[in-house]
Amino acid sequence: KQEVTQIPAALSVPEGENLVLNCSFTDSAIYNLQWFRQDPGKGLTSLLLIQSSQREQTSGRLNASLDKSSGRSTLYIAASQPGDSATYLCAFTGFQKLVFGTGTRLLVSP
């Protein structure tokens, strides 16, 4: 059974810092990795999708990497802003359904 762990569970940083969120998984038989953000009381917004044949994807200040051999993915956020405050979730697609991590709650202070 796929297990997905996100570290840290919570993170508080001042505005402008670069930061890294970590996600680890136990089953390397994945099709893709997807990072989401969730604002309080809202649904999930897709940030980045990495196919299993890829190693990273970039969108603006966000960069996500995937290392299947080590069972890890990282989300790098450059020059963090208060608007980045949210819960960040990683999810892996195995045979059919996405398996979600428990999330990292990020707070960026002005």
Partner 1 sequence: GAGVSQSPSNKVTEKGKDVELRCDPISGHTALYWYRQRLGQGLEFLIYFQGNSAPDKSGLPSDRFSAERTGESVSTLTIQRTQQEDSAVYLCASSPTGVGRELFFGEGSRLTVL
Q: Which residues here bind partner 1, judged by CB under 8 A? A: 31-32, 34, 36, 41-46, 49, 51-52, 89, 91, 93, 95-103
User: Shortest gap between Cβ of 34 and partner 1 (angstroms)?
Assistant: 6
CB of 14 to partner 1, least distance (A): 25
Complex with partner 1: residue 47 or 80, whichever CB lies closer: 47
- For residue 97, give every residue at least 6 positions away whose Cβ sits within 8 Å of its Cβ, in sequence order, or none: none
Specify the residue, 12 or 102, whose C-beta has the smaller distance to partner 1. Answer: 102
Under 8 Å between Cβ of 22 and 110: no
The enclosing H or E element of 70 equals none
